């Protein structure tokens, strides 16, 4: 059985982590999730707080942060903090993209996505970027004329 911690940046051995990062003696800290194998050989990550299990290390890492309150993703422009990177990216896109301080260094943050529209119906206001959607949509107009 292998023990790991919240950030997952080490090989499961608490001795390989810099104790100054956490400000405490890590040997006295209980592991936050357990890695085990089922009888079929599948690796399972178990939350040591509630018993939640998953096959994916990143999922259990995010889950454990609910128990610990850890919020490692910090917005460089305001006091916003969160436990998951997608939420951090969404915050920056919604709140800070296009602001003067963001425009100084846009390469350091995610790019704003622009929706791609491939089909605009000439008979109504419908538009879609899904391949083949125009055929399904045009059948509505064909049924109206019959």
Quick: pLDDT tens for 60-105. Answer: 888 888 888 888 888 888 888 998 999 988 998 888 877 766 555 5
On the question of pLDDT at 140 being above 80, the answer is: no
d(CA 86, CA 84) in angstroms, rounded, equals: 6
Four-point Cα dihedral 110, 111, 114, 118, nearest 10: -90
Q: How confident is the model at residue 119 (pLDDT cuts 50, 70, 90)?
A: confident
The whole-number pLDDT of residue 33 equals 66
Q: According to the model, what pLDDT value does residue 115 have?
A: 54
pLDDT of 113 above 70: no
Q: How many other C-beta atoms can be found within 10 angstroms of the C-beta atom of residue 5?
A: 19
- Is residue 109 within 8 A of residue 96, CB to CB? The reply is yes
Q: Which residue has the tokens 């911690």?
A: 5
Mean pLDDT of 5-31: 46
The torsion defined by the Cα of 69, 50, 43 and 54, in degrees rounded to 10, comes to -70
What is the chain's length?
Answer: 146
Q: What is the pLDDT of residue 6?
A: 45
Least confident span in 39-53, 65-79, 118-132: 118-132
What is the pTM assigned to this prediction? 0.46
Q: Is 60 helix (H, G, I), strand (E, B) or coil?
A: helix
């Amino acid at each position: 059985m292998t023990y790991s911690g919240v950030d997952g940046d080490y090989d499961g051995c608490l001795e390989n982590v810099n104790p100054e990062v956490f400000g405490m003696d890590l040997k006295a800290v209980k592991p936050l999730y357990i890695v085990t194998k089922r009888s079929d050989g599948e690796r399972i990550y178990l939350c040591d707080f509630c018993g939640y299990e998953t096959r994916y290390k990143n999922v259990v890492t995010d889950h454990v942060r609910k128990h610990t309150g850890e919020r490692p993703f910090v917005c460089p422009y305001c006091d916003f903090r969160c436990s998951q990177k997608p939420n951090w990216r969404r915050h920056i896109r919604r709140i800070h993209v296009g602001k003067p301080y963001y425009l100084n260094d846009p390469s350091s943050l995610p790019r704003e996505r622009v929706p791609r529209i491939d089909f605009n119906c000439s008979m109504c206001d419908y538009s879609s970027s899904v391949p083949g959607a125009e055929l399904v949509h045009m059948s509505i107009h064909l049924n109206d004329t019959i």
